[in-house]
């Protein structure tokens, strides 16, 4: 099939396929044959398949001698023209997968899905824009006859469509997620920006100035924040009608009580370090148990080296020593810092809130 796709690609570049008949006989039929379909056997492939609503160019026959896939062929450059017609045929016939192609572009759809036609597209393949090997793999994933007969082609399509729908939803929510992070004055976001600015310039901006800058990126800073001068140290107003309310996280100091002593740290990371040092010095031998308790699939929050904390990117660990030979990674959200503190209390049998009373911003 690789050689066939190479030849088709070369001919597409030369605009050799001048009409639908040329595409059908020069591209679609040869590819179906390579994919295991006997195009001369009407028990496998039915050209000009007729139903109550019209005709479709090809019906690929699956189990029970029922149509499993509809293939509609259009002239080059007209691949998007047949969506509605093809979907109506497939939906009313109960066909689980349909393909719309102009020879160059191949679109695979789940006709029974929800949303617009574009929402129901599983994959769009450009034959002359991908390597022949990749084209062959994708065509086989959805159209290989053996996969159609054992239903794996449809499972592949449903799985791929679900992944695409999830990705589309995640991308759509990113602006809202960013706006909410800024509106909350997210501790890790502010700390990371302040640290990077200090590393580049040698001077650390205030948390308020960092938050004011982040607001400008939402496109609503003029409406949601008070003006802050370049030397300001006052808090930024929260994006609410009351202009005097401070945004959580703009004032990063953390006040807490540990073993009967009230302490204050300049920010959540410093509080985490102090709390862990105070707790673990009681019994360093329990640190391996604490390390195991806070470990996740992707990282070890407490470990012997930055490489263990952030595998592959130790520069992102921002690790600090909490006991001789033991580090904690600080490039984490405040809720994760609180999780580490809670697990430390369990491992070291610290009573909360009598022995330790602490709350981190936005945790």
| pLDDT at residue 234 tops 50 | no
| pLDDT at residue 336 tops 80 | yes
Q: In which domain, by residue range, is 277 found?
A: 254-357
| pLDDT at residue 326 tops 90 | yes
Q: CB neighbours (10 Å) of residue 179?
A: 17
| pLDDT at residue 232 tops 70 | no
* Within a domain: 16: yes
* Within a domain: 244: yes
Task: Please give the tally of structural domains in the chain.
Answer: 3
**237 and 276 share one domain:** no
Percent of the chain with pLDDT over 90: 45
Confidence (pLDDT) at 289: 96
Confidence (pLDDT) at 84: 59
* Within a domain: 152: yes
**147 and 211 share one domain:** no
Percent of the chain with pLDDT over 70: 80
Whole-structure pTM value:
0.52
**11 and 95 share one domain:** yes
CATH number at residue 268: 1.20.1380.10
Confidence (pLDDT) at 251: 47
**313 and 209 share one domain:** no
Confidence (pLDDT) at 203: 72
**244 and 258 share one domain:** no
Confidence (pLDDT) at 60: 95
**80 and 193 share one domain:** no
| pLDDT at residue 89 tops 70 | no
Confidence (pLDDT) at 314: 77
**222 and 293 share one domain:** no
Long-range contacts of 142-149 (CB under 8 A, 24+ apart): 142/97, 142/99, 142/108, 143/31, 143/32, 143/35, 143/60, 143/69, 143/99, 144/35, 144/36, 145/35, 145/36, 145/37, 145/44, 145/60, 146/36, 148/60, 148/62, 148/68, 148/69, 149/62, 149/63
The per-residue pLDDT of the chain, averaged, comes to 81
More reliable by pLDDT, 156 or 247: 156
* Within a domain: 216: yes
Q: Which residues contact 288 (CB under 8 A, 6 or more apart)?
A: none
* Local confidence band at 335 (pLDDT 50, 70, 90 cut-offs): confident
251, 268, 298 - which closes a domain:
251
**22 and 145 share one domain:** yes
195, 224, 251 - which closes a domain:
251
* Within a domain: 49: yes
Mean pLDDT (whole number) for 151-160: 92
DSSP secondary structure letters along 313-344: -GGG--EEEEETTEEEE--S-HHHHHHHHHHH
């Amino acid at each position: 099939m690789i050689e066939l796709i190479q030849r088709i690609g070369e001919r597409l570049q030369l605009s050799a396929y001048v009409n639908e008949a040329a595409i059908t006989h020069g591209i679609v039929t040869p590819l179906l044959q390579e994919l295991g379909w006997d195009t001369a056997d009407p028990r496998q492939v039915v050209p000009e398949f007729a139903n109550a609503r019209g005709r479709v160019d090809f019906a690929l026959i699956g189990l029970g001698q029922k149509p499993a896939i509809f293939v509609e062929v259009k002239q080059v450059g007209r691949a998007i023209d047949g969506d509605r017609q093809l979907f109506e045929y497939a939906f009313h016939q109960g066909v689980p997968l349909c393909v719309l192609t102009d020879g160059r572009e191949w679109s695979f759809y789940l006709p029974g899905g929800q949303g617009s036609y574009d929402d129901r597209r599983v994959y769009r393949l450009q034959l002359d824009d991908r390597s022949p090997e990749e084209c062959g793999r994708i065509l086989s994933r959805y159209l290989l006859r053996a996969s159609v007969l054992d239903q794996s082609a449809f499972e592949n399509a449903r799985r791929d469509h679900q992944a695409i729908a999830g990705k589309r939803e995640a991308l759509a929510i990113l602006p809202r997620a960013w706006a909410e992070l800024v509106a909350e004055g997210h501790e890790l976001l502010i700390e990371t920006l302040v640290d990077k600015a200090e590393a580049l310039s040698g001077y650390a901006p205030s948390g308020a100035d960092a938050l004011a800058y982040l607001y400008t990126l939402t496109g609503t800073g003029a409406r949601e924040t008070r003006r802050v001068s370049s030397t300001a140290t006052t808090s930024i107003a929260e994006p609410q009608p009351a202009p005097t309310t401070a945004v959580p996280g703009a004032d990063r100091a953390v006040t807490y009580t540990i073993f009967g002593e009230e302490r204050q740290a300049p920010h959540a990371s410093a509080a985490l370090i102090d709390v862990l040092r105070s707790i673990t010095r009681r019994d360093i031998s329990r640190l391996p148990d604490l390390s195991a308790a806070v470990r996740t699939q992707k990282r070890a929050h407490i470990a012997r080296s930055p490489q263990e904390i952030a595998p592959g990117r130790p520069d992102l660990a921002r690790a600090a020593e909490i006991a001789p030979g033991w580090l904690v990674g600080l490039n984490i959200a405040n809720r994760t810092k609180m999780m580490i503190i809670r697990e430390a209390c369990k491992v070291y049998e610290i009573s909360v809130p009598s022995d330790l009373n602490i709350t981190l911003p936005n945790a």
